Amino acid sequence: MTALPRPEAMAPAGSAAHALELRGLSKRYGSFTAVDAVSLRVERGQFLTLLGPSGSGKTTILMAIAGFVAPSAGAVLLDGADITALPPERRDFGMVFQGYALFPHMTVAENVAFPLRVRRLGQAAREAKVRAALDLVQLSAFAERRPSQLSGGQQQRVALARALVFEPDLLLLDEPLSALDKKLRAELQEELKALHRRIGRTFVNVTHDQEEALSLSDQVAILNHGKLVQMGAPEALYERPRTRFVADFLGKSNFLRGTVREVRPDMMALQAGGTRLLQAVQGAHPAPGTPALLSLRPEKIALLAGEEAADNAVAGRIEAWAYLGAGYALTVATDDLGPLRVALPAWRAPIAPREGLPVRLGWSAEAAVPVLEDADGA
Amino acid sequence: MAREAALALPAARRAWALPRDAGWYALLLPAFLLMTLLYVAPILQVLAISVTEPAPGIGNYERLFTNPGVQRVIGTTLRICVTTTAVALLLGYALSYVIALASPRAQRWWLLGVLVPLWISVLVRAFAWVTLLRRQGLVNQGLDALGLIEEPLRLVWNEFGIVVGMVHYMVPYAVLPMLAAMKEIDPRLLAAARGMGASRLTVFRRVFLPLSLPGLIAAGVLVFIFSLGFYITPAILGGGKTLMAAEWIKLQILDLVRWGLGAMLATVLVVAILVTLAVFSRVVDLRRLFGGGR
């Protein structure tokens, strides 16, 4: 169970990576449930991000995968083998800690060599691997520096090199980019993604930054109050959120409330005050007369010119607006749907926004998505 | 005329003005004078006796190299101090380690337990050890009752007794600097090391120990320097048979009225302490040792 195959060199995608599975994982601290029966599966070579607000249990899950937190119930499986009881030092996972946790009394090279040293690797092999790992993160010139002499981004890359140098089957990342400024974060996101493609290992990342989750991951698991709310590819989560929480946490969203009036095979009509909304339906069809909640992304709302027609159209006045460079963020007050957030590209915007300006908003029947109200907060 | 004087005054004041910083130094002056007059000057005066009594010259210092009695006292003092420092560091390190890794609540109780002995008079503690360690003391009686010994062990009025008493006194002083150093160690570093495959022992040896080393050295210097000047504990637990430097100095000055000789050894002690501090100030931050912030 403990003797995991150890590849001699960084192997191409898939062959050395491992599949990780959580089955009904729970962690309780007294009466507080930090993680509530989370089950999920990461396939070989995939990049999974655990995304959630603070206190959602994402870090606890990562620590349980790493072996630092003993779950109250459930199991952690690696390629089908139960590793729940295995101590962290025998799991052979690479990990990048929040704040990096570089050893301050060691040089960069010594830090990177540490995992190899505890594995009693010979000096020649050790030096070669350290050099290769530092090359990988482009820090070869800094091998003899101390961590305190490096910038935040460089420290982050040392932590990455240290986590990868012993060719772990699984790399765990705990908010790896949160301590960096925005521009550097974007740069390192790209590097991290390229690195994942290049070495093809399974990555499990924890973040509260939804942009980071969307841009890096193959799969995103959204957590709230210790529960797994929805898991899927970034596009699927963004385009088809299952609950109000997912739609709200991943990007921005307007929520439209109405009562189902009429249902046809692919279409339904909702009544929201005096406004009739046309909405495409997939899967389950709600019964006429029941309340419905729609999530409508701000960028899917268009400004209608003159008498231009749309599946859905509503009149309102600009209540507030902000110029963001690439676009305008408008808040439009409507009678039946409340304030609606609208993202308008600034380049050739049809109007010059000002407060009180009357506008007509329109969106197609496919633009919004029916979502569920959050059950007991999740 | 009055108007002219009024105009002239600021210029005059400017001409007589001291440098801007002078005011601040003036504030330090009373404390400086107090220290010099009441502390530094008398010490220097006493130390000067070592080259003036009984005859001017360095005759007293020659005895360092010629008098076996003086050499024996210095040897005993060094031996006891080194042993005390080693044992106090070992016990203190183990204690600090436990405290540093305990929960904040448990930490407060541990710390109280460490500090309570500091509030008990050194005299009381020395006599308590005599009561425990003497021939009919609790320790000998207990061992006898268990059938572990035939004869009572000689536990007091020798170097062993002195070391026991001194270690007891010094452990809190060893714990405080080491605990401070250990508390600064980021627990994530230890978790990170384990996550990278290091066993608990390796984590300690490669991460915890090197990171706590400054505290260990600081504690060693502090305990050793304190130990050099110990008087009451060795006097009581040594029973007059084992002489350490401080008691020997007292003997020379008060009982034998050989001021020159006593002052000589006192000077040697002061110089030894200053040299130790000078050497280790290059290794550790002394401000931390004496409670200053980082």
List the structure tokens of B113.
């337990």
Predicted TM-score (pTM) of the model is 0.76
Give me the pLDDT at residue A378, please: 41
Name the minimum distance, in Å, from the CA of A102 to any CA of chain B.
Answer: 7
DSSP for A320-365, please give it.
EEEE-SSEEEEEEEETTTEEEEEEEESTT-SS---TT-EEEEEE-T
Give me the pLDDT at residue A11, please: 39
Q: Minimal CA–CA distance to A155: which of A188, A115, A194?
A: A188
Over residues B82-113, the pLDDT tens digits come to: 999 999 999 999 999 999 989 999 999 999 99
Give the count of alpha carbons within 13 A of A10, CB side only. 18
Maximum CA extent, chain A: 78
Contact: B189, A103; criterion CB under 8 Å:
yes
Name the minimum distance, in Å, from the CA of A84 to any CA of chain B.
Answer: 15
Angle separating helix axes B259-281 and B59-66, nearest 10 degrees:
70
More confident residue, B289 or A160: A160
* Nearest chain B residue to A102, by CA: B189
> According to CATH, where is 2.40.50.100 located in chain A?
247-377
Helices within A38-141 (DSSP H only): 58-66, 108-118, 123-136
Given a cut of 90, whether residue B9 has pLDDT beyond it is: no
Q: Which of A97, A98, A118 sits opposite B197 (nearest CB)?
A: A118
The answer for B 170-199 residues in CB contact with A (under 8 A) is 186, 188-189, 191-199
- For B197-225, b where at least 16 C-beta lie within 10 A, e where not — what string? bbeeebbbebbbeebbebbbbbbbbbbbb
Cα–Cα distance for residue pair A114/A104, rounded to 1 Å: 13
Contact: A93, B202; criterion CB under 8 Å:
no
Given a cut of 90, whether residue A244 has pLDDT beyond it is: yes
Given a cut of 60, whether residue A1 has pLDDT beyond it is: no
Give me the pLDDT at residue A51, please: 95
Cα–Cα distance for residue pair A279/A307, rounded to 1 Å: 21
What residues contact residue A163 under an 8 Å CB cut-off, 6+ apart?
A94, A95, A96, A171, A172, A173, B196
Q: Where are the domains of chain B?
A: 68-289
* Nearest chain B residue to A65, by CA: B195
Element (H, E) at A151: none
More confident residue, B163 or B156: B163
Average pLDDT, stretch B250-264?
A: 91
List the structure tokens of A293.
């909640």
Assess contact for B269 and B245: CB atoms under 8 A: yes
Show the beta-strand stretches assigned E in A187-290.
202-207, 219-224, 227-232, 254-264, 267-272, 275-280
Phi and psi at B83, nearest 5°, equal: -60, -50
Over residues A14-48, the pLDDT tens digits come to: 445 678 999 999 999 999 999 999 999 999 999 99
Assess contact for B219 and B174: CB atoms under 8 A: yes
Mean per-residue pLDDT over chain A, rounded = 89
Asked if CATH classification 3.40.50.300 holds for the domain at A20-243, the reply, yes or no, is yes
More confident residue, A135 or A377: A135
CATH class of the region B68-289? mainly alpha
Residues of A in contact with B207 (CB under 8 A): 103
Element (H, E) at A78: strand A73-78
Element (H, E) at B226: helix B209-228
Given a cut of 60, whether residue A259 has pLDDT beyond it is: yes
Cα–Cα distance for residue pair A304/A310, rounded to 1 Å: 8
* Nearest chain A residue to B205, by CA: A118
Over residues A301-336, the pLDDT tens digits come to: 999 988 888 999 999 999 999 999 999 999 999 998
Give me the pLDDT at residue A349, please: 85
Q: What is the CATH number of domain A247-377?
A: 2.40.50.100
Assess contact for A26 and A33: CB atoms under 8 A: yes
Average pLDDT, stretch A267-275?
A: 91
ipTM: 0.74
Alpha carbon of residue B159 to chain centroid: 19
Give me the pLDDT at residue A41, please: 94
Give me the pLDDT at residue A5, please: 41
* Nearest chain B residue to A96, by CA: B192
> According to CATH, where is 3.40.50.300 located in chain A?
20-243
Question: Among residues of chain A, what percentage have pLDDT more than 70?
Answer: 94
Name the residue type at position A264. Answer: R
